[in-house]
Protein backbone atom coordinates (compact mmCIF):
# COMPACT_ATOMS: atom_id res chain seq x y z
CA UNK A 1 0.00 0.00 0.00
CA UNK A 2 1.21 3.46 -0.91
CA UNK A 3 0.67 6.63 1.08
CA UNK A 4 1.26 10.15 -0.15
CA UNK A 5 0.98 12.83 2.51
CA UNK A 6 1.24 16.59 2.00
CA UNK A 7 1.75 19.21 4.68
CA UNK A 8 2.57 22.87 5.08
CA UNK A 9 -0.56 24.61 3.86
CA UNK A 10 -1.66 27.67 5.80
CA UNK A 11 -3.23 31.12 5.69
CA UNK A 12 -0.67 33.79 4.80
CA UNK A 13 -0.84 37.43 3.72
CA UNK A 14 0.00 38.46 0.18
CA UNK A 15 3.75 38.66 -0.28
CA UNK A 16 4.37 35.93 2.25
CA UNK A 17 6.03 32.55 1.90
CA UNK A 18 5.18 28.93 2.56
CA UNK A 19 6.97 25.63 2.16
CA UNK A 20 4.93 22.57 1.25
CA UNK A 21 6.19 19.04 1.81
CA UNK A 22 5.06 15.73 0.37
CA UNK A 23 6.31 12.29 1.36
CA UNK A 24 5.58 9.00 -0.33
CA UNK A 25 5.79 5.82 1.72
CA UNK A 26 4.86 2.16 1.51
CA UNK A 27 5.30 -0.23 -1.38
CA UNK A 28 6.38 2.36 -3.89
CA UNK A 29 9.31 1.69 -6.17
CA UNK A 30 11.05 3.38 -9.04
CA UNK A 31 9.64 6.85 -8.54
CA UNK A 32 10.10 8.98 -11.62
CA UNK A 33 8.49 12.36 -11.31
CA UNK A 34 7.08 14.08 -8.22
CA UNK A 35 4.66 16.86 -9.02
CA UNK A 36 2.67 19.61 -7.37
CA UNK A 37 -0.80 20.45 -8.66
CA UNK A 38 -3.37 22.90 -7.40
CA UNK A 39 -7.10 23.16 -7.70
CA UNK A 40 -9.64 25.85 -6.99
CA UNK A 41 -13.17 24.65 -6.33
CA UNK A 42 -14.99 24.38 -9.64
CA UNK A 43 -11.84 24.55 -11.75
CA UNK A 44 -9.62 21.90 -13.25
CA UNK A 45 -6.56 20.74 -11.40
CA UNK A 46 -3.45 22.39 -12.87
CA UNK A 47 0.18 21.41 -12.78
CA UNK A 48 2.22 23.91 -10.76
CA UNK A 49 5.67 22.34 -10.73
CA UNK A 50 7.31 19.00 -11.39
CA UNK A 51 10.69 17.44 -10.75
CA UNK A 52 11.82 14.41 -12.69
CA UNK A 53 14.06 11.58 -11.58
CA UNK A 54 17.08 13.27 -13.14
CA UNK A 55 16.32 16.53 -11.33
CA UNK A 56 14.85 18.34 -14.30
CA UNK A 57 12.23 20.83 -13.19
CA UNK A 58 9.37 22.59 -14.88
CA UNK A 59 6.89 25.23 -13.75
CA UNK A 60 3.68 26.75 -14.90
CA UNK A 61 4.29 30.28 -16.15
CA UNK A 62 2.39 32.01 -13.35
CA UNK A 63 4.78 30.75 -10.65
CA UNK A 64 8.13 31.02 -12.43
CA UNK A 65 10.56 33.06 -10.38
CA UNK A 66 8.43 32.75 -7.25
CA UNK A 67 8.17 29.01 -6.57
CA UNK A 68 10.94 26.44 -6.34
CA UNK A 69 10.53 22.67 -6.33
CA UNK A 70 13.14 20.40 -4.80
CA UNK A 71 13.43 16.77 -3.83
CA UNK A 72 15.08 14.55 -1.25
CA UNK A 73 15.52 11.25 -3.09
CA UNK A 74 16.55 9.36 0.04
CA UNK A 75 13.30 10.29 1.78
CA UNK A 76 10.92 10.10 -1.22
CA UNK A 77 10.01 13.67 -0.35
CA UNK A 78 9.33 16.68 -2.55
CA UNK A 79 9.12 20.29 -1.43
CA UNK A 80 7.56 23.39 -2.90
CA UNK A 81 8.98 26.68 -1.68
CA UNK A 82 6.48 29.40 -2.45
CA UNK A 83 7.56 33.03 -2.19
CA UNK A 84 5.86 36.32 -3.04
CA UNK A 85 2.50 34.64 -2.70
CA UNK A 86 -0.50 36.23 -4.36
CA UNK A 87 -4.23 35.84 -3.64
CA UNK A 88 -4.57 33.98 -6.94
CA UNK A 89 -2.28 31.27 -5.53
CA UNK A 90 -5.09 30.31 -3.16
CA UNK A 91 -6.00 26.68 -3.82
CA UNK A 92 -5.76 23.16 -2.53
CA UNK A 93 -2.30 21.89 -3.41
CA UNK A 94 -1.92 18.22 -4.29
CA UNK A 95 1.13 16.06 -4.67
CA UNK A 96 1.33 13.42 -7.38
CA UNK A 97 3.94 10.71 -7.37
CA UNK A 98 4.60 9.05 -10.74
CA UNK A 99 6.09 5.60 -10.24
CA UNK A 100 6.67 2.57 -12.38
CA UNK A 101 3.58 0.82 -11.02
CA UNK A 102 1.29 3.81 -11.28
CA UNK A 103 0.52 7.36 -10.17
CA UNK A 104 -0.44 8.19 -6.61
CA UNK A 105 -2.11 11.29 -5.16
CA UNK A 106 -2.13 12.84 -1.71
CA UNK A 107 -5.19 14.26 0.02
CA UNK A 108 -4.19 17.88 -0.54
CA UNK A 109 -3.23 20.80 1.66
CA UNK A 110 -5.01 24.16 1.67
CA UNK A 111 -3.10 27.33 0.85
CA UNK A 112 -4.95 30.59 1.39
CA UNK A 113 -3.37 33.94 0.55
CA UNK A 114 -5.17 36.98 1.92
CA UNK A 115 -5.08 40.32 0.13
Selection from 17, 39, 48, 34 nearest residue 76 by Cα: 34
pLDDT tens digit at each of 115 positions of the chain = 899 999 999 999 999 999 999 999 988 888 999 999 999 999 999 999 999 999 999 999 999 999 999 999 999 999 999 999 999 999 999 999 999 989 999 999 999 999 9
**Other C-beta atoms within 10 Å of 95: how many?**
26
Amino acid sequence: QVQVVESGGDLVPAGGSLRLSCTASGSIFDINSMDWYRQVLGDQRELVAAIAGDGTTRYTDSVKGRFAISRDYSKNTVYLQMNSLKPEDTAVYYCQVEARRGNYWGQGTQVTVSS
